[in-house]
Amino acid sequence: MNDYKKKEYGPPVNMFIRARKVIVIDKDNNNIGTLSISEAIKMAQDNGLDLVQVSKVGEEIPTCRILDYGKYKYEQDKKKKMAAKKQRESLSKVKEIKLRPSTDINDLKIKAAKTEEFINEGHRVKITVVFKGRELSHREIGYETLNTFVSLCSNAEPVSSPSIDGRILSTMLSKKVQATTTQSAAKIAS
């Protein structure tokens, strides 16, 4: 019973329009004027089209258009899908780079370059240092590796301070926020 969703029916069409008189706009966007509902529906059917109410339901004299309802509904659905797709694409994704406390500096440089690519694409990057075995007793080496890695990423800054959870030390990086010109001018002046 809770999973029931109310079906969306769309605007009233043809005989489902509940007004006695309507303002009619034809297929070429010309305002024909106020007609009775029967005259408006007959005019739409003569053209092989539908009469669709485009104004709010409940108005005293609603505005209706003569158009192909199937095509109109298809275009509306297409617009909704494109808007949803753009919204999904605009959300930034989180990428993850895994390191070990013993990762060499050259490997850190390569992973830092990949991290900068992700950040330039607009993603946030989670950096994790994974400890295995007795490495956990030397957490300071993991912190050094993480700090070295963050310093190699020139266009990134940490969003949060490093935190350790079990055997994983992690932090989040995002694009470095550029200082505004007024703030940089104030720093130069002082």
Each residue's pLDDT tens digit, 63-72: 999 999 889 8
| DSSP calls for 28-72 | TS-EEEEEEHHHHHHHHHHTT-EEEE-S-TT-SS-EEEEE-HHHH
Residue 98 located in a structural domain: yes
Question: Which residues constitute the domain of residue 26?
Answer: 14-69
- Whether residue 109 sits in one domain with residue 58: no
Give percent of the chain with pLDDT exceeding 70.
Answer: 88
What pLDDT score was predicted for residue 2? 47
Average pLDDT, the chain: 84
Distance CA 138, CA 4 (A): 56
- Whether residue 170 sits in one domain with residue 99: yes
Beta bridge partners, 96, equal 126
For residue 183, pLDDT over 90 is answered with: no
pLDDT-based confidence at residue 182 (cuts at 50, 70, 90): very low
Distance CA 2, CA 80 (A): 25
Q: What is the pTM of this model?
A: 0.49
Residue 37 located in a structural domain: yes
Q: Which of 36, 52, 69 lies at the terminal end of a domain, its last residue?
A: 69
Q: What is the CATH number of the domain that holds 121?
A: 3.30.110.10
Give me the amino acid identity at 40.
A
Residue 112 located in a structural domain: yes
- Whether residue 62 sits in one domain with residue 120: no
